[in-house]
Amino acid sequence: MGQWDRFLQPYKQAVDELKIKLKGIRAQFEKSNTTSPIEFVTGRVKPLASIYDKTLEKGLVFEPSDTLAHELQDIAGVRIMCQFVDDIPTVIELLRQRNDLHIIEEKDYITNVKNSGYRSYHMIIEYPVGTIQGEKTILAEIQIRTLAMNFWASIEHSLNYKYKGIFPEEIKKRLQNAAEAAFKLDEEMSEIREEIREAQAYFTEYKEASKPKVRQDHLKGARENL
């Protein structure tokens, strides 16, 4: 195993563990017949090419080191997607209450929107990983956003690579307009949140009832009660 593989392994482990734990929160809500504020969870370890770009930007030496681990706080990244803007504060509180991670910084880009139109809620955490050499605490970033915010951010990220961060004015303006339109969509959906939740619950119940085994069990129960 090379030096970069050894350096990044705890980050990969942290991402895997955090994804399992956060998906577990969603499962707990579902088992208690309560709507989960978490729609789905993704995660990644920053590719070496992106780490290299960051070292150039920050004037760091491109080699595994404690300095690099301290300065690059998003080598391990987890993203939590929510259906509604109103779900985001709920997720934030759930994370604040956990004792298996320590939040060291929070950045609210939903209330304090970036000039580009970017919206998301960021947390930098310290997370302990158990290794064969002992426990190692690493930094990781958790981003919490809606599906609409994520769609916009993904497009902006792709365009940012194309234009090397310097957008033509027309593209810049259109992105800002699109960001406002995406947030307006979030606000409109929040207004009919309860109707949406009820429709989703009904749809889920209908799907379950449509499964052959469920139908057979239902018919069997009905026959036994005759």
- Give the residue numbers marked as catalytic: 141
Beta-carbon contacts of 40 under 8 Å, excluding residues fewer than 6 positions away, are 26, 81
In this structure, which long-range contacts are made by residues 150-157, counting pairs with CB atoms below 8 Å and at least 24 apart in sequence?
Answer: 150/79, 150/81, 151/182, 152/117, 152/118, 152/119, 152/178, 152/179, 152/182, 153/118, 153/119, 153/120, 156/116, 156/117, 156/118
- Burial string for 99-122 (b: 16+ CB within 10 Å, else e) reads eebeeeeeeebbeebeebbbbbbb
Phi, psi (5° rounding) for residue 25?
A: -60, -45
Q: Extract the runs of DSSP E, i.e. beta strands, from 25-183.
A: 40-45, 76-82, 102-108, 121-131, 134-146
